[in-house]
Amino acid sequence: MSLMDTVKGMITSERKDVFRCDECGEIVKVEPGSSPDDCPVCGADDFSVINRRAKV
């Protein structure tokens, strides 16, 4: 991988906010600035923030 490919990946990479469901531990990724409505696995609506704007 060249230096230009690395820089391009850093600039154009998609970012997501990452949350963990407090009930079942499922990891949920959402658009930056938003929060998940409910867990896709257990349906709970309580989440803890893991990381903001994580590189996906």
pLDDT in tens, 1-56: 588 877 766 666 678 889 999 999 999 999 888 899 999 999 999 999 998 765 65
What is residue 6's predicted lDDT score, i.e. its pLDDT? 74
User: Considering the domain 14-55, what is its CATH architecture?
Assistant: Single Sheet (2.20)
Specify the pLDDT at position 49.
92
pLDDT at 31: 87
Distance CA 15, CA 6 (A): 16
Model pLDDT, residue 26: 96
Half-sphere exposure of residue 41: CA atoms within 13 angstroms, side-chain side: 11
- Please give the Cα distance from 11 to 9 (Å, whole number): 5
pLDDT at 24: 97
